[in-house]
Amino acid sequence: MIFSTYFDPELSRRFTEDMVIRKLTAKTQIGYVRALNRLCEYLNRSPEDVTRDNLREFQLFLVEDGATGTTINCILSGLRYLYNVTLGKPQLLTKLITVSVARRLPIILSLEEIKLFLAAAAHPKYHAAFSVAYGAGLRVEQGK
């Protein structure tokens, strides 16, 4: 993982060790480092020297820059991890607010579509299994 030049090497080592100790996945670790790099590049200084107002300004910058709610929340998770776990400064996070993200609604089949689907079952046991699964609310999500 490559940390920003503003990031102290000792702090980056401790931050990495904290993530390893808590067994965060590689994808999560990369996301957290990207979040901290983005903060460092925005402020042009180390995250150790940040104030609550600096973090609030950074969040405002993210919103105005067009970052999605999911991206902002991921960045905030990385910042929370740094300030809560590694630096032990949770008081800096009081002005950070997560962004609500709209959930996608599932596709609901019409009664005719359900009948066609169940009629396509090759064997009565498949018909029964599909009927129970659909009746229980199980759905297949299309790939993201």
Per-position DSSP letters for 53-112, written without gaps between them: HHHHHHHHHHHHTT--HHHHHHHHHHHHHIIIIIS--GGGGTT--PPP-PPPPPP---HH
Task: Name the residue ranges covered by the structural domains of the chain.
Answer: 9-93, 106-138
For the whole model, what pTM was predicted? 0.70
Q: Which of 35-39, 56-60, 101-105 has the lowest mean pLDDT?
A: 101-105
Q: Report CA-CA distances (Å) from 63 to 41, 60, 108, 110.
A: 16, 5, 33, 39
- Residue 7: count other Cβ atoms within 10 Å of its Cβ: 19
Q: Quote the pLDDT of residue 68.
A: 92
Question: So what's the architecture of 9-93 in CATH?
Answer: Orthogonal Bundle (1.10)
- pLDDT above 60 (res 143): no
